[in-house]
Chain A
Amino acid sequence: MITAGCDIGSLTAKAVILQDRKMLASEVILASAQPEKSSIEVMRRAIEKAGIKMEDIEYCIGTGYGRKHIPFMDSLESEIACHGRGAIWQVPSARTVVDIGGQDAKAIRVDEKGNVERYVYNDKCASGTGRFLEIIADSLDIKLEDMGAISGRSTEKLTLSNQCVVFAETEIISLVNEGKEIADIISALHQAVANRAASLARGILVAPDAVMTGGVAKNSGMFEALQKALGMKLHRVDNPQINGALGAALFAADTISGSRQ
């Protein structure tokens, strides 16, 4: 039984292919302006990696903000459901999922079967999302993927007084002008983003075990900062960015087999 999940986010498109609920292949690409194109491209690459053909996929579920534009999907599932399902598959003891994406953040409480009990979602304010990091990386001319390593070299604790991305950007520029170290600034930035995401997550009463997913979880500095903000240990998953697509592919397997495993 081969099933697939396709997660079209605002910044990246993700595909997962499973054989009997085991990973065959996964792929992440930068999303283009057209979600349809992104979905075709990411799935084409995943299929190639898996060494299969499109016809071999028995069922495919689409998720993510661009899910309605995926031409080849058999059905749709909400991001929240897919993230809950994916997280509990990766970390069976997980009861809380904090997902920070490129343009949103969500926190989900799941029961032991991965059913969503409660969730909160923010896509109204850029603070507490990956966009905050992106904007600052851009204005400091550093790479997004280098931010974790850079913040690891921080020696002085700084605190940003602004929560708003627009105001924080100005504040960061003046910190640079004052001669503060970039590592310390990035570390303070991580804490600001994490604090914002944590205050969102506290709205659903974070229960252990908690797991962090989404592209931002690949940033080790953010992972540490979120642990600090929530005051608890978080579980790492191997590839946090494909969690939603994984959940979708698992739902696809459930649909075919008629039961959840």
Chain B
Amino acid sequence: MFAAGCDVGSLTSKAVIMKDGKIIESVIIKSKARPWESADEVMGMALSRAGLTMTDIKRCVGTGYGRDKISFIHEAVSEIACHGKGARWLVPSVRTVIDIGGQDCKALRLDDKGNMMKFITNDKCASGTGRFLEVMAKVLNLSLDELGEMSARSKQPITFASACTVWAQADVIQHLNDKVPIEDIAAGVNNAMASRMSTLANNIGLEKDVCMTGGVAKNDGVVNALEKHLGIRIKRIRREDPQIAGAIGAALFATEKANGGVL
């Protein structure tokens, strides 16, 4: 039995196809201007790679900020629920999930059965979101990957007076003019991200195990900085790409529903 999940985010769109609760295909694309175009494209790619058509999919769940605009889904489920579900599937012992998206960040806490206990989201301020990293990488003329690698070599990370992306950007330019080593600036950027994320996570009460989802989870610089800030080990997601956690959760909801409530 095939089921699918589609997560349409502000920057990337993700699709996951499952067969009997196992992932057979997943695709990540850059989001288009219109959410339904993103959804059609990413799901179309996943289906063709899996050698399937939409009619083979018994049930499909949509999530992400553009979820209500997806034409082919049977139902839409909140990002929070999908990320919780996906993270628990990836790391069964997880209790706290920190998800950093392109334009938002969220932290959520699950009980031992995977029920949502508490969550918090920020989509009002660019600080602590993927956007912050993107802006900084652009000023530093580095790719997001380089930003993570660079910071590992820093001896004296810079600090920012304020969390605001606008002020931090001005600080970075000032540091560049003052010939501060790029790795120290990069490390400062990652620390600033981590500090903002840990505020969010501490807000909901941190509980082990902790894992990170979303594209930023692939940035070692940020993950290491966050571990330091929280003083806790973060379980790395290795089973799948952490960026597709939301789509996995959506596909799991779809599987469950199609199976009459069981996975």
- Give the distance in Å from the alpha carbon of A126 to the alpha carbon of B164 in the complex: 7
| In contact, B163 and A165 (Cβ under 8 angstroms) | no
* A111 cross-chain contacts in B, Cβ below 8 A: none
Whether B126 is near chain A, meaning CB under 8 Å from some CB there, is yes
- Give the distance in Å from the alpha carbon of A1 to the alpha carbon of B130 in the complex: 58
Whether A158 is near chain B, meaning CB under 8 Å from some CB there, is no
* A167 cross-chain contacts in B, Cβ below 8 A: 103, 126, 131
- CB B105 to nearest CB in A, in angstroms, measures 13
Which of A131, A135, A164, A165 gathers the greatest number of chain B CB atoms within 10 Å?
A: A164
- Give the distance in Å from the alpha carbon of A165 to the alpha carbon of B162 in the complex: 14
| In contact, A164 and B124 (Cβ under 8 angstroms) | yes
- CB A92 to nearest CB in B, in angstroms, measures 36
Whether A166 is near chain B, meaning CB under 8 Å from some CB there, is yes
* B124 cross-chain contacts in A, Cβ below 8 A: 162-164
* B163 cross-chain contacts in A, Cβ below 8 A: 124
Whether A74 is near chain B, meaning CB under 8 Å from some CB there, is no
In the complex, how many residues of chain A place their beta carbon closer than 8 angstroms to a beta carbon of chain B? 13
Which chain B residues numbered 92 to 141 have a C-beta less than 8 Å away from chain A? 103, 124-126, 131-132, 135
- Give the distance in Å from the alpha carbon of A36 to the alpha carbon of B135 in the complex: 31
| CB-based nearest A residue for B123 | A167
| In contact, B126 and A123 (Cβ under 8 angstroms) | no
- Give the distance in Å from the alpha carbon of A44 to the alpha carbon of B165 in the complex: 36
- Give the distance in Å from the alpha carbon of A163 to the alpha carbon of B131 in the complex: 15
* A125 cross-chain contacts in B, Cβ below 8 A: 125, 162, 164
| In contact, A166 and B162 (Cβ under 8 angstroms) | no
| In contact, B162 and A131 (Cβ under 8 angstroms) | no
In the complex, how many residues of chain B place their beta carbon closer than 8 angstroms to a beta carbon of chain A? 13
Whether B232 is near chain A, meaning CB under 8 Å from some CB there, is no
Name the one of A162, A163, A166 contacting B166, with C-beta atoms under 8 angstroms. Answer: A166
* B103 cross-chain contacts in A, Cβ below 8 A: 167
| In contact, B126 and A135 (Cβ under 8 angstroms) | no
Task: Kindly count the residue-residue contacts between A and B in the assembled complex, taking CB atoms under 8 Å apart.
Answer: 34
* A135 cross-chain contacts in B, Cβ below 8 A: 166
- Give the distance in Å from the alpha carbon of A228 to the alpha carbon of B126 in the complex: 27
Whether B65 is near chain A, meaning CB under 8 Å from some CB there, is no
The 0/1 profile, CB within 8 Å of B marked 1, for residues 115-153 of chain A is 000000001111000010001000000000000000000
Which chain B residues numbered 78 to 97 have a C-beta less than 8 Å away from chain A? none
| In contact, B165 and A123 (Cβ under 8 angstroms) | no
| In contact, B135 and A126 (Cβ under 8 angstroms) | no
Which of A124, A135, A162, A166 gathers the greatest number of chain B CB atoms within 10 Å?
A: A166
Which of B124, B135, B162, B166 gathers the greatest number of chain A CB atoms within 10 Å?
A: B166
Which chain B residues numbered 130 to 178 have a C-beta less than 8 Å away from chain A? 131-132, 135, 162-167
* A126 cross-chain contacts in B, Cβ below 8 A: 164-167
- CB A193 to nearest CB in B, in angstroms, measures 13
Which of B131, B163, B164, B165 gathers the greatest number of chain A CB atoms within 10 Å?
A: B164
- Give the distance in Å from the alpha carbon of A123 to the alpha carbon of B165 in the complex: 13
The 0/1 profile, CB within 8 Å of B marked 1, for residues 95-112 of chain A is 000000001000000000
- CB A168 to nearest CB in B, in angstroms, measures 10
- Give the distance in Å from the alpha carbon of A123 to the alpha carbon of B163 in the complex: 11
- CB B3 to nearest CB in A, in angstroms, measures 34
* B131 cross-chain contacts in A, Cβ below 8 A: 166-167
* B132 cross-chain contacts in A, Cβ below 8 A: 166
| In contact, A131 and B126 (Cβ under 8 angstroms) | no
- Give the distance in Å from the alpha carbon of A163 to the alpha carbon of B124 in the complex: 7
- Give the distance in Å from the alpha carbon of A162 to the alpha carbon of B165 in the complex: 14
| CB-based nearest A residue for B126 | A166
| CB-based nearest B residue for A168 | B126
- CB A80 to nearest CB in B, in angstroms, measures 19
* B126 cross-chain contacts in A, Cβ below 8 A: 164, 166-167
- CB B253 to nearest CB in A, in angstroms, measures 29
* A163 cross-chain contacts in B, Cβ below 8 A: 124-125
List chain A positions with a Cβ less than 8 A from chain B.
103, 123-126, 131, 135, 162-167
Closest 6 pairs between A and B when the two form their complex, measured CB to CB: A126-B166, A166-B126, A124-B162, A166-B165, A125-B164, A164-B125
List chain B positions with a Cβ less than 8 A from chain A.
103, 124-126, 131-132, 135, 162-167
Q: A103-B167, A162-B124 are in contact. List 5 more A-B contacts (CB 8 A).
A: A124-B162, A126-B164, A135-B166, A163-B125, A166-B132
Give 25 pairs: A residue, B residue, CB < 8 Å, sorted on A: A103-B167, A123-B162, A124-B162, A124-B163, A124-B164, A125-B125, A125-B164, A126-B164, A126-B166, A126-B167, A131-B166, A162-B124, A163-B124, A163-B125, A164-B124, A164-B125, A164-B126, A164-B165, A165-B164, A165-B166, A166-B131, A166-B165, A166-B166, A167-B103, A167-B126
